Amino acid sequence: MTHIDHLKSICKLEGIQVVDVGAGDGVYSRDLYAAGAKVTAIEIDPDKVAKAKEDLPRHIDVRLGAAEDLPLDSGSQDLACLFFSLHHIPVEVQHTAFTEIRRVLGSSGRLHIVEPYPYGTMFYVVRLVEDETLVRTHSHETLNHLDGVDGFRLENKKEYVLTREYPTFEAFLEKIVWPDPDRSRAYEKVSSDMEDAFNRSVETLDGKIVLHQPCAAYHFIVSC
């Protein structure tokens, strides 16, 4: 299952206004656009914004901005999505971010957040260069208590496993480690341990070498 497959099963995407908060290089913005949504991608990193503007379809509106200060008009969006990005928002501004997201959603708006759990083969390898145990745990605790708070009501929660293919350890580094300067620096001290963790954690599925990341999708509707 993919994030967009699950989202499409509970929410019509064609023709609606969707903001992808913490869009990164725009991989999920592209998927939302392919599903028929009118997409605005918001990202706080200027380098990723520049790359997204180069790589994404021109009809996707890519903007520099933060979750706690969205460059969008009030009530302008039908759906707000955060794919694996909530735990990157500093804890001290997450409440402000939810208030801001509520502002830009219309009266029948929806909020869809997918967060990875701090376990699974993908996590066990990546934690050697970035241990997100605490921030991921906090995000799930926050989402499990968001029902009835900040103007949102939980409509659906689903746990599933995201499976990603990495043909070689070098391919894993190219996708997961090298694009992030902090991870690249951390890798210098744990290179052999990380390669060993990768080789012990990967499995073959349908002829593909994969790692698994368990996650949960929380789907909220605006509550007046």
| d(C-alpha 126, C-alpha 194), whole Å | 8
pLDDT over 90 (residue 223):
no
Residue 196, domain member (yes or no): no
Residue 195, domain member (yes or no): no
State the CATH number of the domain containing residue 101.
3.40.50.150
pLDDT in tens, 69-105: 999 999 999 999 999 999 999 999 999 999 999 999 9
Q: What is the model's pLDDT at position 160?
A: 98
Domain that holds residue 20: 3-117+132-161+215-222
Selection from 82, 162, 77, 89 nearest residue 122 by Cα:
162
- Total domains, the chain: 1
Average pLDDT, the chain: 97
Residue 33, domain member (yes or no): yes
Residue 54, domain member (yes or no): yes
pLDDT over 80 (residue 139):
yes
| d(C-alpha 113, C-alpha 85), whole Å | 8
| d(C-alpha 153, C-alpha 224), whole Å | 9
